[in-house]
């Protein structure tokens, strides 16, 4: 257990040279259509950037990988026709939709003068990794932005990386993994692993919209008076006066947290790795950043809950859109400071058990009536068990997959360890003002002792 120090010697320049860029269009003609986006999709109009690192392999030098991926991507844009489209706003409906016009996705080929061993710790968020991502503006104008770009960067050791940018309206984490599995399958000259299901009307609001719960985890967007700027939400706010650290919880640490919850009276399905890690991080974060002594103040932790198996009938596993909503757990400052740990674990668990079919439909209908955003003290964004590193390409599985992160003071990111290390452990990226970070680190270790 412990913090991975930010004083590590990071490589600030990967010495990347871009050699070519192009637009890849569907390998077959696709029918032009407008694709409906659900209320969940509507609020996720921003890019997600991920890096997927691969070791060198004799049978697949980087130039052969480029050929395989470029060809597979063109084929994949036929069943994933929306990926080759463009976002547009329908003024009559007042909604975003995707114009599936076959305009294509961005593709780039680059090289680095470094080897994989020279780029530094892959786990620690390194701003230089952005050099492995292809900038949208480098290929098309602002009015014609692809919904996905993929850059293949080869290193002097023969290893390589995929830098993938996709607009979040296209996928959530679960459907993005299926996209990767299909890409790997076509690159292996095999058929699709899973046929994508792209009818987003399955998550359309009811008519009329019927909000049946209070939804304290959501806050309606308050537009400022004319002439004033919109202030950031608590999940968008940040400060330049912050530092960030990566805290590692080993598999033994997680087992210890589970035993602690059980010894205090917890039992059953509540005691999962995610629940105990989230409860621990939530407690440390709130106690480290407390600005007053109001022990009755309520704190709320937020995290994503997958809806696929929770709806009636369940969504197809291959549903391509965003099928996640924000679950929440609440506790008072007193409970976080002095209460039993298992009580916090139960509070985290309630966020998922609360997410029934009717609750999810109520959230979607709320989104039809209001423009708003999740509201809470801490958002936990978990990349821990999405399984991107389990995808088997012809040249093998990635040695590591990670988001390109800009640490935020209100979002804690959970992500897995590098291949060959503590595979059942988890890393947490935490950003706090310096004085709060010192407190967080002390509390983090004290509560694990």
Give per-residue pLDDT as tens, 181-192: 999 999 999 999
Among 1-15, 146-160, 237-251, 384-398, the minimum mean pLDDT is found in 1-15
Query: Is residue 171 predicted with pLDDT exceeding 80?
Result: yes
> H or E stretch including 86?
strand 86-90
Residues 6+ apart with CB under 8 A from 8: 120, 121, 124
Q: For residue 181, tell me if it sits in a domain.
A: yes
Give per-residue pLDDT as tens, 32-60: 999 999 999 999 999 999 999 999 999 99
DSSP per residue over 105-170, as a string?
Answer: EEEEEEEESS-GGGS--SSS--GGGGGGS--GGGTS-TTS--SEEEEEEE-TTS-EEEEEEEETTT
Distance CA 96, CA 200 (A): 13
- Provide the residue range defining the domain that includes 12: 2-203
The mean per-residue pLDDT over the stretch 401-419 comes to 86
Domain end among 149, 179, 203: 203
Same domain for 285 and 431, yes or no, is: yes
Residue with tokens 């320049």: 13
Query: Is residue 159 predicted with pLDDT exceeding 90?
Result: yes
- 119 contacts 9 by C-beta, under 8 angstroms: no
The mean per-residue pLDDT over the stretch 13-20 comes to 96
Res 235: pLDDT? 38
Instruction: Pick the more confident residue, 137 or 247.
Output: 247
- 413 contacts 405 by C-beta, under 8 angstroms: yes
Same domain for 174 and 297, yes or no, is: no
Which tokens is 194 given? 């899973």
Question: Which class for 94: exposed (0-12), middle (13-18), buried (19 or more C-beta within 10 A)?
Answer: exposed
Among 213-222, 242-251, 319-328, the minimum mean pLDDT is found in 213-222
Same domain for 152 and 297, yes or no, is: no
Query: Is residue 417 predicted with pLDDT exceeding 80?
Result: yes
Q: For residue 227, tell me if it sits in a domain.
A: no
Res 121: pLDDT? 85
Q: For residue 225, tell me if it sits in a domain.
A: no
Same domain for 144 and 293, yes or no, is: no
Same domain for 196 and 296, yes or no, is: no
Domain end among 178, 203, 228: 203
Cis status, amide bond into 208, omega within 30 of 0: yes
Q: For residue 110, tell me if it sits in a domain.
A: yes
Res 293: pLDDT? 78
Same domain for 198 and 269, yes or no, is: no
Domain end among 176, 203, 230: 203
Which tokens is 230 given? 């919109």
Cis status, amide bond into 113, omega within 30 of 0: no
The mean per-residue pLDDT over the stretch 243-270 comes to 90
Q: For the chain, what is the mean pLDDT?
A: 91
Q: For residue 220, tell me if it sits in a domain.
A: no
Same domain for 244 and 197, yes or no, is: no
Same domain for 247 and 355, yes or no, is: yes
Sheet with 95-100, edge to edge strand ranges = 33-36, 95-100, 86-90
Among 97-101, 335-339, 405-409, the minimum mean pLDDT is found in 405-409
Q: For residue 224, tell me if it sits in a domain.
A: no
Q: For residue 215, tell me if it sits in a domain.
A: no
Query: Is residue 233 predicted with pLDDT exceeding 90?
Result: no
The secondary structure of residue 241, as a DSSP letter, is S
Res 138: pLDDT? 65
CB-based burial, 119-148: b 16+ in 10 Å, e otherwise: bbebbbbbeebebbbbebeebbeeeebbbb
Q: Give residue 449's pLDDT band: very low, low, confident or very high (50, 70, 90).
A: confident
CB-based burial, 27-66: b 16+ in 10 Å, e otherwise: eeebeeeebbbbbbbbbbeeebbbbbbbbbbeebebeebb
Query: Is residue 6 predicted with pLDDT exceeding 90?
Result: no
Res 371: pLDDT? 82
Same domain for 259 and 345, yes or no, is: yes
Number of domains in the chain: 2
Residues 6+ apart with CB under 8 A from 356: 310
Strand 47-54, strand 372-374: pairing: unpaired
CATH number at residue 199: 3.30.559.10
The mean per-residue pLDDT over the stretch 160-185 comes to 98
Give per-residue pLDDT as tens, 207-232: 999 999 999 999 987 655 444 443 43
Question: Which class for 242: exposed (0-12), middle (13-18), buried (19 or more C-beta within 10 A)?
Answer: middle
Percent of the chain at pLDDT above 70? 91
Same domain for 74 and 182, yes or no, is: yes
Same domain for 191 and 292, yes or no, is: no
Distance CA 79, CA 36 (A): 16
Distance CA 89, CA 421 (A): 46
Same domain for 199 and 262, yes or no, is: no
């Amino acid at each position: 257990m412990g913090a991975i120090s930010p004083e590590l010697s990071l490589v600030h320049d990967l010495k990347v040279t871009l050699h070519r860029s192009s637009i890849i269009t569907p390998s077959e003609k696709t029918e032009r259509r407008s694709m409906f986006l659900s209320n969940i999709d509507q609020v996720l109009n921003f890019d997600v950037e991920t890096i997927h690192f691969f070791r060198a392999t004799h049978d697949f030098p980087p130039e052969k990988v480029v050929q395989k991926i470029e060809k597979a991507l063109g084929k994949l844009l036929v069943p994933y026709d929306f990926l080759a489209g463009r976002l547009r706003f329908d003024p009559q409906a007042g909604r975003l939709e995707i114009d599936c016009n076959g305009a294509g996705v961005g593709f780039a080929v680059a090289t680095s003068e470094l080897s994989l061993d020279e780029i530094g710790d892959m786990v620690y968020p390194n701003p230089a990794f952005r050099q492995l991502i292809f900038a949208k503006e480098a290929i098309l104008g602002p009015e014609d932005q692809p919904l996905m770009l993929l850059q293949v960067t080869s290193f002097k050791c023969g290893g390589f990386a995929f830098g993938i940018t996709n607009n979040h309206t296209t996928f959530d984490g679960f459907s993005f993994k299926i996209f990767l599995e299909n890409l790997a399958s076509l690159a292996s000259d095999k058929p699709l692993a899973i046929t994508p299901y792209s009818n987003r009307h399955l998550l359309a609001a009811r008519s009329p919209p019927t909000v049946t719960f209070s939804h304290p985890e959501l806050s309606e967007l308050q537009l400022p008076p004319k002439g004033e700027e919109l202030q950031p939400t608590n999940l968008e706010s940040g400060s330049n006066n912050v530092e960030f650290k990566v805290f590692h919880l080993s598999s033994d640490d997680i087992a210890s947290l589970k035993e602690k919850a059980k010894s205090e009276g917890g039992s059953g399905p509540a005691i999962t790795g995610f629940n105990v890690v989230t409860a621990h991080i939530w407690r440390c974060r709130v106690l480290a950043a407390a600005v007053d002594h109001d022990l009755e103040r309520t704190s709320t932790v937020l995290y994503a809950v997958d809806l696929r198996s929770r709806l009636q009938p369940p969504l197809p596993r291959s549903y391509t859109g965003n099928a996640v909503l924000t679950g929440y757990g609440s506790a008072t400052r007193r409970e976080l400071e002095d209460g039993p740990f298992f009580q916090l674990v139960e509070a985290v668990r309630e966020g998922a058990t609360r997410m029934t079919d009717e609750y999810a439909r109520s959230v979607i209908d709320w989104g039809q009536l209001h423009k708003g955003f999740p509201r809470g003290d801490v958002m936990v964004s978990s990349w821990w068990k999405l399984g991107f590193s389990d995808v088997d390409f012809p040249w093998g599985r990635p040695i590591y997959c990670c988001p390109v992160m800009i640490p935020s003071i209100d979002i804690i990111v959970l992500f897995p360890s590098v291949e060959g290390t503590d595979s059942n452990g988890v890393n947490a990226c935490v950003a706090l003002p310096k004085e709060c970070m010192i407190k967080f680190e002390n509390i983090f270790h004290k509560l694990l002792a």
